[in-house]
Structure 1
Amino acid sequence: MRVLSKLMLAAAMLAGTVAGANAQDKTPVKLGAIEILTGPNSRYGIAIQRGFDLALADINKAGGVLGGRPLALAYEDSAGAKEQALNAARKLIGRDRVPLILGPTLSNEMFAAGPVANERKVPIVGTSTTANGITAIGPYVFRTAMPEADVIPVTLKTAQSKFGIKRVAVMYGNDDAFTKSAYDVMKATLEKLGIQVLTTETFGSKDTDFSAQLTKIKGLNPDAIVLSALVEAASGIALQARQLGIDPKVFIIGGNGLNSPKLGEIAGASADGTIVGSPWFIGKKDPANQAFVTAFREKYGDSPDQFAAQAYDTLFIVAKAIDAAGAPDSEKIKDALIKVKHTGVMGPFSFSESRDPADTSGVVVLTMKGGKFQLLE
């Protein structure tokens, strides 16, 4: 009996020591993040990085995760290349042993990196990947970005109702998964709304001269140009359209790629009148959003965009999943993510069974005026 009692006492002391060690564990929980930090599309990735970093500071100031462990992010620059995004995912999983990856920035990159994370059973969360089929990659692939399939129909229907649009020209980048997917949604929506498509013109993501397509469009005299492009190409198209004499009354109606303040910065007055849909608006009056906007401006000397806002909320969503999982364990985090509920700067959020945003009712339609987006009224 005495031997048994001593063994029980020793076990109790060991358990207490382990529990104490766990309580004192201040090792950072390091996550991976794959974003475009250099190159033409870094405008998106840098905004996302800033959103993450602002959230990271707030989370750690509030105590971190798992009872006091700081959260950390290991960034990998994809430079907008899917091969680089793929290698970044392999590095973060194989060398850095991260339990979760944030990103990549573009859908093209997710279609490359997502299968690797899914195969290795590491959850990967896209904050800006809106193409069709992203979460169909596998059960470890999530996204907090609202799909274009939910945003574009609202945008086009609003433009039709407000401006009586009947005839349009369509332009899209045909060598990018995101812009091609958005075009597919545009095509189906235009057909459903009974809007006539006069011509469909394509271009490459690295093209800078759009004069041939725009000259043809000018001769057809459409009510609007429906455009699926990333912001660099969209800015060039807006500039060249006005230079060629396409009337400013011929609206440019865009997908998510145009939803960046950089459009106004690059194209100036030529971008005025551009119409886009968004799940977020900088002018939302709720306290959480206004506090985020103020903090972002104070830290970076610039205003946040939709991509920064989505990134900010996403890190809080992931932090909640880590706490619910009870450990930086990929499988437990994956199971916890699907159950997370969070109200942030984007509004209430939860995942659907397909690991997409469950609530897609918060789309607002914006128009650019004086180089800045405002609500279309």
Structure 2
Amino acid sequence: MKQRFKIVVCLLLIATLVLPLSAMAQDGGDEEETPRMGFWEECADPANLSGEIPIGVVFGLTGSIAQYGEPQANGVRLAEQEINESGYLGEEATVTFVYEDGGSDRETSIAAFEKLINEGVVAIIGPTLSSQAFGADPLAADAGIPVMGVSNTAAGITTMTGDPELDQFIFRDSLPESGVIPGTVATAVEILGIEDVAILYGNDDDFTASGYEVFVDALEEAGVEILLEETFSRGDVDFSVQLTKIIEQDPDALVVSALIAEAVQIVTQARQAGYDGPIIGGNGFNSPALFTDAGEDANGVIVGAAWNVGNPNELSEAFVEKYTEAYGNPPDQFATQSYVGAWLMATAVRCADSADPADIRDALASIQDFPSPLGLFSFDEDRNPVHDPVVQIVDDGAFAVFDESYANYFD
């Protein structure tokens, strides 16, 4: 009898210990499911939000820039799911991202913005290209709707209207070329000992022309001689004339400012023509389409970026895992920037505790030290992003961090 009593007491004691531990484990599991993104502590849970909060999204989902736009849309979709499932905007509210195809031209993006503004969105993310932004963003600003570019890197994006009252509504989370190219050039010069280059750039696009200007300034600052400059237009497919002239100059490196459609052809045709040296590209090269379409010819392309898939940042690692699980392939820089952009917009709504566009604008401008896959993110006084860039090289069909280990890569 005493033995049986002892056994019962032991079982009761074990149950007393196990049940709280089980509850703690369940609580811990819930915490793991909650996204680590966001200003959960910095901004109180919203008390005044309710219903669906519509935010417009304009990306190039068709045409020649869909290789940028589709990953961008995927990044926003993943963020939307996380934001709403976590209750980031409170118990009574959800964010609804309303998607419109911005095409690959300025007019289509303008039409998409007009439609979204008429439908009553409280903010807009996009469009994909800088040239599209210069046409569409002023419409949002004039309507008092905050707009955030997540891939617009040309100079002057956030001050495009010249009117501070309008420009205050224009943001971007994509590092401008002026914040990336100088470091890319300096790193390539230091590691590879580059003394002279030839330049090939698109002269009929705001982004590629702006990138060219930044490249020239950075090369001059680094003491690199420019042997030759050649141009092309969007839609060109034959670069043999320009490349023949460039290869005859025997430059230490080929510098290219191009969008991805032209970039792939330039890289492929340069290799076919016998050029096996470094190719230094602008932000337009930051797409996996570069090495999936150009294949081994893309090896040795160097490009500055806002982000690298191997970033050890734990938020970046978590994002890569979730994105890959959802879409079957790792994210690129454009998906990452759109994902962060969606979270930034949602954070502005949360911190403002308001769906009023003016309140969202004010809260967006005040964001500082926001933990993200891009690193600690802030907006400066001109609503440009502040975070550390990275220099990459295509090696064996993937972007790798470019460092001293590649000093003899082209020997």
TM-score (norm 2): 0.83
For residue 384 of structure 2, give the secondary structure of its aligned residue in structure 1: coil
Q: 2:376 aligns with which of 336, 348, 359?
A: 348
Equivalent residue letter for 2:310: G
CA contact (8 A) 2:72 2:335 kept: yes
Q: How far apart are the structure 2 equivalents of 1:287 and 1:353?
A: 28
Cα displacement string for residues 254-308 of structure 1 (whole angstroms, at most 9, x for unaligned residues): 1100011110001011110000111211111222111110111111001101111
Shift in alpha-carbon separation, 1:136–1:235, aligned structure 2, 3 A: same
From 326, 347, 353, the counterpart of 1:299: 326
1:24, distance to aligned residue in structure 2 (A): 9.9
State whether residues 268 and 370 of structure 1, in contact with CA within 8 Å, keep that contact through their aligned partners in structure 2.
Answer: no
Indicate the residue corresponding to 1:277 in structure 2: 304
Shift of 1:358: 3.0
Distance 1:319 1:25, change over 3 A: closer
Give the SS at the match of 1:71: strand
Aligned pairs for 1:4-83 (under 5 A) are: 26-83=50-107
**3-state SS in 2 of match to 1:116:** helix
Where 1:41 maps in the other structure, the secondary structure is helix
Q: Quick check: 1:165–1:223 contact (8 Å CA) kept in 2?
A: yes
Alignment match of 1:175 (pick from 204, 207, 223): 204
Residue aligning to 1:123: 146
Give the C-alpha shift of residue 68 in structure 1: 3.2
1:97 to 120, 123, 128: 120
Other-structure match for 1:155? 184
In the alignment, structure 1 residue 203 sits paired with structure 2 residue 226: no
Asked if the contact 1:64–1:71 (Cα under 8 Å) also holds between the matched residues in 2, the reply is no
Shift of 1:323: 1.3
Q: CA deviation at 1:325?
A: 1.8
Alignment match, 1:235: 264
Could you tell me how far apart the structure 2 residues matched to 1:109 and 1:198 are? 32
Partner Cα separation in structure 2 for residue 353 and residue 222 of structure 1: 40
- State which of 88, 108, 115 in structure 2 corresponds to 1:84: 108
Q: Which runs of 5+ in 1 are unaligned?
A: 1-21
In structure 2, runs of 5+ residues without a counterpart are 1-45, 161-166, 404-411
2:203–2:233 contact (8 Å) kept in structure 1: yes
Match of 1:320 among 342, 347, 351: 347
- The reply to whether residue 371 of structure 1 matches residue 400 of structure 2 is no
* Residues 1:23 and 1:193: Cα distance change in structure 2 (over 3 Å): closer
- Could you list the per-position Cα deviations for residues 122-175 of structure 1 after superposition, in whole angstroms to 9, with x for gaps in the alignment? 100001000000000211100000110010000000000011101100011111
Return the letter of the residue paired with 2:228: T
Shift of 1:232: 1.2
Q: Take 1:314 and 1:329, find their aligned partners in 2: how far apart are those partners? A: 18
1:206 partner letter: G
Counterpart of 1:105 in structure 2: which amino acid?
T
Residues 263-274 of structure 1 mapped to structure 2, 5 A cutoff: 263-274=290-301
Tell me, in whole angstroms, the C-alpha distance in 2 between the residues paired with 1:156 and 1:194: 11
Is the 8 Å Cα contact of residues 201 and 230 (structure 2) preserved in structure 1?
yes
For residues 24 and 214 of structure 1, what CA distance do their matches in structure 2 show? 60
Report deviation, 1:49: 0.5
Q: Which has the larger radius of gyration?
A: 2
Cα separation, partners in 2 of 1:120 and 1:66, compared to 1, 3 Å: farther
Task: Specify the alignment match of 1:142 in structure 2.
Answer: 171
- What is the number of residues matched between the two proteins? 351
Name the counterpart of 1:288. 315
Per-residue deviation, residues 170-198 of structure 1 (Å, max 9, x unmatched): 01111110011000100111111111111
SS in 1 for 2:51: coil
Residue 64 of structure 2 aligns to a residue in which SS?
coil
Aligned to 1:331: 358
CA contact (8 A) 2:349 2:360 kept: yes
Q: Is the 2:391–2:402 Cα contact (8 Å) retained in structure 1?
A: yes
AA matched with 1:34: V
Report the 3-state secondary structure (helix = DSSP H, G, I; strand = E; otherwise coil) of the residue aligned with 2:63.
coil
Counterpart AA for 2:220: E
SS in 2 for 1:28: strand
Structure 2 contact 306–389 (Cα < 8 Å) conserved: yes
Give the secondary structure class of the aligned counterpart of 2:55.
Answer: strand
Indicate conservation of the 8 Å contact 1:227/1:254, yes or no: yes
| Greater than 4 Å deviation, 4+ residue runs | 22-26
- Structure 1 length normalisation: TM-score? 0.91
